Amino acid sequence: MTKSCEEGARSPKKCVEPVLSVRDLVIDIVHEGRILRIIDAISFDIYSGEVIDLVGPSGCGKSTLLLTVARLRPKTSGHMSICGRDEQEMDGRSWRQSVVYVPQKATLIGGSVSDNLLIPWKFSCRKKVPAPKDDILRAGLDALGLRDVELDRDAKRLSGGQAARIALLRALVLKPPLLLLDEVDAALDDESAALVGAYVRSCAEAGQAFVRVRHRPPDGFATRRVYLAEGHITSARSDGADDSVERKL
Amino acid sequence: MIALRGSYEMGGVPEIGNIELLCAAGFMLVAGLVSYRSAMGLEKDIAISTLRAFVQLIALGFVLGWVFDNQSWEMVLLIMFIMVLNATQIARGRIKSCPSGITLQLFVSLLITSFTMVFLVVELIVKPELWYDARVVVGIFGMILGNAMSSSAVALDRTFSSLDARSDEVLALISLGATPLEAARPSIMSAVRAGMIPTLATLSAAGVVQIPGMMTGQVLAGADPLSAAKYQLVLLMAISATTTLCNIAVVRWCFRKRFSSDGYYLDSTLRGASRSR
């Protein structure tokens, strides 16, 4: 992560280059012995402050695209850079500290809620980085509608919706420049999903960027929507008008 | 005093004749019939394994007889090397959902740990007149290697099955910045533990439930039981140490096969496609 982007995570104006730049990305998958091209030479940029909804029919490759951008699966060809740094300059783990993917299926390990939120600080890449204090974790839980969940509660006693928000908060407190959220609100009721949307938008306004795969109706918190179908993306308006249309919906 | 029936040859061990051998095979016939009647589907495995054991052990009897009479250090080392090759092939066959490219790691782990331990035991503790005395070296080596082979097969099988069962968790941990080792650690720990369970159970049961094979053999051959117990203790310690070291080495060396060079987990859809990036 470049210094400019670390600062950019707090102040979007300081990071002028795209957070993520993707050029001519091609992704082939092997399905029943046949090679299928599910992403066909797409290019796009994502800037800090953006909340992009990636929509499209089921099975069109949305999750595969997010996993590839997070370097959690291989691409066939193409080029990516994060905060101006070429992917070739970074190993996968360094890249994934800047681009954090949150899967739909929330995975919590044994221990308390606090233990789960602080898992990333047990990894060698963050040994020297101070872990967030309890008051920061508490504020995050409150913002996501988890006021009744204590930090020392056993993670096994959480509902599916609570676990989904804990898994999301675990990625949010890392404050990476780009977060890729793969249907993280699928297990939530409308009220909780709205709280999550609002919190994501507030984090974006503080300088982060988000891509959300969602199958819910537009919630008004996206700054633009991108459609993926048959290996190509088409972009909706990115001037904010889209946002107002979604709000009306 | 209870007198053992049958003839005594070869240092006091009661000789087993061909009819007695067929009787022993009859035990497996009963097991096969019960399996057939219970529709367990084990008859073929029982028949093949029994036949294989008969052929292998009788052949071993002939080979060892010849080796003991004509032994040289080169021949002893060659036999041990061939035993490790066989152990590698057998262990490899027991691992389900096994990634390619682990055979060399398995072979080297078995070779180094078993060779090192057998020479430590033989040269520091047993101290035979000939340092390569096949009666001592090959026998002890077989027992150490056999246990290391079985436990490393269990440990590797458990490593890959556990990683597959935890693939969602591994994906989540990797996406949060974990190294492959950090993401795989729970699987590695449970796998090494699983590989050690039979050895630890043998240690716990030794003397109170089970009289281990080597001690039984020595006592049957007329050795002092206390002396046989000491030999058995040495061997049990050597087996436990070797299985532990071999398990840790082979699992730590091979778990990475489930991860790409870029550090992401190779789930079933990605295996074989990890070269592109």
- On whether any CB of chain B is under 8 Å from the CB of A212, the answer is no
Q: Nearest by CB to A71, which of B182, B262, B274?
A: B262
Cβ within 8 Å, pair B276-A125: no
Scan for tokens 């117990």, then name that residue.
Answer: B229
What value does the mean pLDDT take over residues B56-70? 87
State how far the alpha carbon of B81 is from the alpha carbons of B14, B75, B141, B154, B253, in Å: 32, 10, 11, 22, 21
pLDDT at A156: 92
Comparing CA positions, the residue from A103, A194, A108 lying closest to residue A158 is A108
pLDDT at A7 over 50: no
Pairing of strands A20-31, A178-182: unpaired
A142 Cβ contact list (under 8 Å, min separation 6): none
* Nearest of A28, A46, A20, A2 to residue A224 by alpha carbon: A46
Distance between CA B266 and CA B259 in Å, rounded?
5
B172 Cβ under 8 Å from any chain A Cβ? yes
Q: What is the DSSP string of chain B?
A: -PPPPS-EETTTEEP--HHHHHHHHHHHHHHHHHHHHTT---HHHHHHHHHHHHHHHHHHHHHHHHHHHS--HHHHHHHHHHHHHHHHHHHHHH-TTPPTT-HHHHHHHHHHHHHHHHHHIIIIII--SSTT-HHHHHHHHHHHHHHHHHHHHHHHHHHHHHHHHTHHHHHHHHHTT--HHHHHHHHHHHHHHHHHHHHHHHHHHBTTTB--HHHHHHHHTT--HHHHHHHHHHHHHHHHHHHHHHHHHHHHHHGGGGB-TTS-B--TTTTT-TT--
Percentage of the residues of chain B whose pLDDT score is greater than 90: 44
The nearest alpha carbon in chain B to A87 belongs to: B277
Do B276 and A74 lie within an 8 Å CB cutoff? Answer: yes
**Mean of pLDDT values over A116-124:** 94
Q: What pLDDT is attached to residue A181?
A: 96
Task: Tell me whether residues B175 and A126 touch, CB distance under 8 A.
Answer: no
Q: Which residues of B165-175 are buried (b: 16+ CB within 10 A; e: fewer)?
A: ebbebbbbbbb
Q: Does A171 touch chain B (CB under 8 A)?
A: yes
Q: Is B223 within 8 Å of B131 (Cβ atoms)?
A: no
pLDDT attached to residue A236 = 58
From the list B176, B269, B273, the residue facing A171 with the nearest CB is B176
Distance CA B210, CA B204 (A): 9
Cβ–Cβ below 8 Å for A103 and B168 = yes
Euclidean distance between CA atoms A41 and A22, whole angstroms = 10
CB–CB contact A100 B270 (8 Å): no
- Confidence band for B277, pLDDT divided at 50, 70 and 90: very low
Shortest Cα distance, chain A CAs vs residue B102, angstroms: 22
Q: What is the Cβ-side half-sphere exposure of residue B17, based on CA atoms within 13 angstroms?
A: 5
Pick the more confident residue, B275 or A98: A98
Q: Which residue has the higher pLDDT, A3 or B53?
A: B53
Q: Which residues pair with B259 in a beta bridge?
A: B265
- Show the CA angle centred on residue A25, arms to residues A19 and A26, nearest 5°: 155
Contact A62, A103 (CB under 8 A): no
With CB atoms and an 8 Å threshold, state whether B176 touches A123. Answer: yes
Q: Tell me, yes or no, if A123 comes closer than 8 A to chain B by beta carbon.
A: yes
Per-residue pLDDT averaged across B80-95, rounded?
Answer: 92
- Sort strands A224-229 and A209-213 into parallel, antiparallel or unpaired: unpaired
pLDDT digits (tens, 9 = 90+) for A179-210: 999 999 888 999 999 999 999 999 999 999 99
What per-residue confidence (pLDDT) applies to A15? 52
CB contact under 8 A, B172 and A103: yes
- Give the confidence band of B60 by pLDDT, cuts at 50, 70, 90: confident
Cross-chain Cβ contact A72/B175 below 8 Å? yes
Q: Which of A13-17, A80-84, B14-18, B249-253 has the lowest mean pLDDT?
A: A13-17
C-alpha B14 chain-centroid distance: 28
A20 has which bridge partners?
A: A46, A82
Q: How close B197 gets to chain A, by Cα (Å)?
A: 24
The answer, for A22 touching chain B at a CB cutoff of 8 Å, is: no
pLDDT of A14 > 50? The answer is no
**Alpha-carbon span B8 to B11, nearest angstrom:** 8
Q: For A63-116, what is each residue's pLDDT tens digit?
A: 999 999 999 999 999 999 999 999 999 999 999 999 999 998 999 988 999 999
Whether B275 has a pLDDT exceeding 50, the answer reads no
Structure confidence at residue A1 as a pLDDT band (50, 70, 90) = very low
B169 inside 8 A of chain A by CB: yes
Q: Say what the pLDDT of residue B273 is.
A: 53
Interface probe, candidates B168, B174, B176, chain A, greatest A C-beta count within 10 A = B176
What confidence score (pLDDT) does residue A8 get?
Answer: 37
Please name the residues in contact with B233: beta carbons below 8 A apart, sequence gap of 6 or more.
Answer: none
* Three-class SS state of A130: coil
A104-119 confidence digits (pLDDT tens): 899 998 899 999 999 9
* pLDDT-derived band at B225, boundaries 50, 70, 90: confident
What pTM did the predictor assign?
A: 0.81
CB atoms within 10 A of CB B52: 10
From the CA of B243, how many Å to the nearest CA of chain A? 29
**Backbone CA torsion sign across A173, A179, A181, A185:** positive
Put simply, the answer to whether A73 touches B175 (Cβ < 8 Å) is no
ipTM over 0.90: no
How far B126 CA sits from the closest chain A CA (Å)?
45
Over residues A131-143, mean pLDDT: 94
Q: Which residues of chain B are within 8 Å of residue A98 when distances are taken between CB atoms? A: none
Q: Give CA–CA dist A12/A207, Å, rounded.
A: 4
Has residue B73 got a pLDDT over 70?
yes
Per residue in A211-244, pLDDT tens? Answer: 999 888 888 999 999 999 888 988 754 444 443 3
Greater model confidence, A197 or B6: A197
pLDDT in tens, B202-216: 888 887 777 777 778
pLDDT tens digits for range B140-199: 999 999 999 999 999 999 999 999 999 999 999 999 999 999 999 999 999 999 999 988
Closest of B160, B142, B236 to residue B198, by C-alpha: B236
pLDDT averaged over chain A? 86
The residue with tokens 């090494």 is: B192
* Sign of the alpha-carbon torsion through A95, A99, A101, A102: positive
